[in-house]
Amino acid sequence: MAALGWLTPRRRSATARSVLAGEAAAEAARKSSLEAGSADSAEEKKSAEPEEPEFPVVGDERAAAFFDLDNTVMQGAAIFHFGRGLYKRKFFERRELTRFAWQQAWFRLAGVEDPEHMQDARDSALSIVKGHRVSELMSIGEEIYDEYMADRIWPGTRALAQAHLDAGQKVWLVTAAPVETATIIARRLGLTGALGTVAESVDGVYTGRLVGEPLHGPAKAEAVRALAAAEGLDLARCAAYSDSHNDIPMLSLVGHPYAINPDSKLRKHARALDWRLRDYRTGRKAAKVGIPAAAGVGALAGGTAAAVALHRRRR
């Protein structure tokens, strides 16, 4: 599929597209949160971290928390796990799964987001869901969460989110993943809701286009800003959590930024500005150079072998 640039008129600036994506994500997040109401309860609290964070302040209703998803709340990329589930259900062919596998291997080995891989994954996802009903993908998404995502939640980050909930504050996921997938994850974790990339749908059917642009980088900051304005939040009293330097715009918006499992650029930036740092990855090497040990040495070795094999085939 062609690059996403054709989805919006060329005369619009990148900033305008970011604002549009951010506002669309905020609107979708508030809508899903209101629909959910108080019907859903949090899962039993599980944490490998005995420490209670110094923040949040109990009872501060003008404060909230914003969590990046991939490699911050969950090991790996949500769109990859979702792709695995769709492949299992025969939504696409093996060659598409190979592309997802290569992108995931890169993400896990390098510990950073590759813009080309991310755009390729989103283009593939849009073409795959085009013509399908939103309700169908939501139902399948629930199953995929149980199959591939539930066991990949970082207990330490989960504990941080729960601390905000226990303090009476709202907690939102903010991710480039589809808003429907993000909403499912947020609901399963007992969070308030999710800001995510909004795919256009007409009469409940996906068109294969986006509203604005993917919720990534500056667009995330715009989404948080829009949601804070709608919810009456004071960003100086809010917290944000991410692993990626791409989210520095979002982290810089709030008074309490956290670098979680940070890549090397974010680690350096966080240390320079005296931001709080938390690393829940196992292994000395992961802590030093930012390689995510997502599922132990065996999984990492498997990812390495897959990446090398695919690279050799391409050459």
Q: Which active-site residues does the annotation give?
A: 68, 70
Structure letter (DSSP) for residue 43: P
Polymer length of the chain: 315
Whether the CB-CB separation of 241 and 71 falls below 8 Å is answered with: no
Whether the CB-CB separation of 56 and 255 falls below 8 Å is answered with: no
Structure letter (DSSP) for residue 280: -
Structural tokens at position 112 = 């950073």
Angle at 263 between CA 190 and CA 67, to 5 degrees: 20
What letters, b where the CB count within 10 A reaches 16 and e where it falls short, cover 2-40?
eebeebbeeeeeeeebbbbbbbbbbbbbbebbeeeeeee
Pairing between strand 199-202 and 205-210?
A: antiparallel
CA distance 229 to 235: 9
Q: Tell me, letter by letter, the H, E, C secondary structure of 53-91.
A: CCCCCCCCCCCEEEECCECCCECCCHHHHHHHHHHHCCC
Whether the CB-CB separation of 70 and 78 falls below 8 Å is answered with: yes
